[in-house]
Amino acid sequence: MRARHALIVVLPLVLLVGCAESGLEELEQWMREQRNITKPSVAPLPEPKKFVPQPYIQTAAVEPFSNQRLLQALRQQSNSVTSNAALVEPELNRRKEPLEAIPLDAMQMVGSIEKGKQRIALLKVDNLIYQVRPGNYIGQNYGRIQKITETEIVLREIVQDATGEWMERPATLQLQERSK
């Protein structure tokens, strides 16, 4: 039995050694020939372009970081503010209504009624009910009621944008469903 195990181990080793000798010499010879035949060719890198800085020669123009440039921008802004001030000027000259002191998000539309052909909205503010009509002012942004439907109040507000200019924007108050 031991002889059999020894034969199983030794036989593959003998076969492996016999095969290895003959193929390696031919392979090494072929590799040497290929190295001699093949010559690598690497193209040389082009020379980098020389950077020539250009001087700033805009003598007639305003320098971008000068105080004069800032003054020009401020003049342009003041001209646009005066033109937009005409939008808010009539609002400053009229008598304020009581609901203009309250922000819109503190108001709730709880219903609407019709008197004659005119629709009147019912607003709830601090547990008090107010009647408002188209043309009345509500909210803190000069909100004038444009239209009243059964389910909403459509108004136009005058607000300042991020640059300080006055602009009109639409706003609505939706009918609030009764919470249980």
Task: Confirm whether 23 is domain-assigned.
Answer: no
Answer whether 124's CB lies under 8 Å from 102's CB: no
Q: What pLDDT does residue 114 have?
A: 92
Task: Confirm whether 162 is domain-assigned.
Answer: yes
Task: Confirm whether 10 is domain-assigned.
Answer: no
Task: Confirm whether 56 is domain-assigned.
Answer: no
State pLDDT tens for residues 39-97.
888 888 999 999 998 887 776 666 767 777 777 777 776 665 555 677 788 888 889 99
Task: Confirm whether 27 is domain-assigned.
Answer: no
Share of the chain above pLDDT 90, in %: 39
What total of structural domains would you count in the chain? Answer: 1
146's enclosing H/E stretch is strand 143-148
Q: Which residue range forms the structural domain that includes residue 111?
A: 97-174
pTM beyond cutoff 0.85: no
Q: What is the CATH number of the domain that holds 122?
A: 2.30.30.830
**Residue of 3, 174, 35 lying closest to 105 (CA atoms):** 174
State pLDDT tens for residues 1-20.
777 777 787 777 777 666 55
Residue identified by tokens 């010499």 is 25
φ, ψ at 98 (rounded to 5°): -60, -35
Task: Confirm whether 37 is domain-assigned.
Answer: no
Task: Confirm whether 74 is domain-assigned.
Answer: no
